[in-house]
A and B are shown apart, each in its own frame.
Chain A
């Protein structure tokens, strides 16, 4: 077993486990911390794909900014364990579980039956994913989406402030 296969195995098992803890655990803080761990594992997986800049952005934006916001809101709301609403929804939960099994079966069969036949080219991937190459491609071919994202973020800031204000006057 080579090093890259070992690395992929460890990272993917930890990523799946932390995603499961995120979904299953009763306390929101526990699932938030587990989600931060999951984001770090995904950053490691991006590094195995030679996408170093995306890995850095993943840690900065997701594990840094978004999860701080989530944990801040959890602290602000002072939530307790979710145990009073458990027994009523067993049928719903089982059907959702079966639905999920069906979805992963469908996706897995699709991916495995239609082999992509692509070969990993480490040097090309590493050259393509530097900050310089990404910025060049971003501002040459995607200038309109960037402007749209700017408008979206401005609208999101204004909307968040309006929604979180105590009283509109």
Chain B
């Protein structure tokens, strides 16, 4: 008899991963690492979606994972293009050194 893991463990794991991503966004200054931390947060939410979809016997959650993934792909293309343009203009990817809108 296989003992099954309850849904709460998946939710807790997803909360921990989401928090790691949040702390990464808040503490890091490198724009690319901030971007990767955002990917971590999106993946944590995906884990919650898949967990609920499997435990409720309904695949709507898995469909939302598709939509999250396609938005993440679009965000990757746009975000990295912005980082490239920023590096061309200011020769830096550290968000502290980008203060054009600060007064």
Residues of A within 8 A of B (CB): 2-5, 8, 12, 15-16, 19-20, 22-23, 28, 31-32, 35, 38-39, 42, 45-46, 48-51, 53-54, 57-58, 61-62, 65-66, 69-70, 73-74, 76-77, 79, 82, 85, 89, 92-93, 96-97, 99-101, 103-104, 107-108, 111-112, 115-116, 118-121, 124-125, 128-129, 133-134, 137-138, 141-142, 145, 149, 152-153, 155-157, 159-161, 163-164, 166
Q: Which residues in B have their C-beta under 8 angstroms from that of A120?
A: 4-5, 7, 54-55
A23 and B37 contact, CB distance less than 8 A: yes
B55 and A97 contact, CB distance less than 8 A: no
Q: A125-B57, A129-B59 are in contact. Are A15 and B15 (CB under 8 A)?
A: no
A82 and B30 contact, CB distance less than 8 A: yes
A107 and B15 contact, CB distance less than 8 A: yes
Number of residues of chain B lying within 8 A (CB) of chain A: 73
A19 and B21 contact, CB distance less than 8 A: yes
B62 to chain A, nearest CB (A): 5
1/0 per residue, CB under 8 A from A, across B67-81: the answer is 101111111111011
1/0 per residue, CB under 8 A from A, across B36-52: the answer is 11011001001100110
Query: How many Å lie between the Cα of A93 and that of B56 in the bound state?
Result: 39
Residues of B within 8 A of A (CB): 1-5, 7-13, 15-24, 26-30, 32-33, 35-37, 39-40, 43, 46-47, 50-51, 53-60, 62-63, 65-67, 69-78, 80-85, 87-88, 93-94, 96
B27 and A89 contact, CB distance less than 8 A: yes
Q: A5-B5, A152-B70 are in contact. Are A23 and B28 (CB under 8 A)?
A: yes
- Closest-by-CB residue of B relative to A157 is B77
B57 and A16 contact, CB distance less than 8 A: no
Name B57's contact: one of A54, A58, A77, A124 (CB within 8 Å): A124
Q: Can you identify 5 A-B contacts, CB atoms within 8 angstroms?
A: A66-B72, A79-B93, A85-B94, A96-B27, A103-B15
Q: Can you list the 8 inter-chain pairs with the closest CB atoms, starting with the nearest?
A: A156-B74, A96-B26, A23-B24, A107-B15, A163-B81, A100-B23, A125-B54, A128-B59
A69 and B36 contact, CB distance less than 8 A: no
- Closest-by-CB residue of A relative to B43 is A42
A97 and B27 contact, CB distance less than 8 A: yes
- Closest-by-CB residue of A relative to B56 is A118
A108 and B15 contact, CB distance less than 8 A: yes
A103 and B19 contact, CB distance less than 8 A: yes
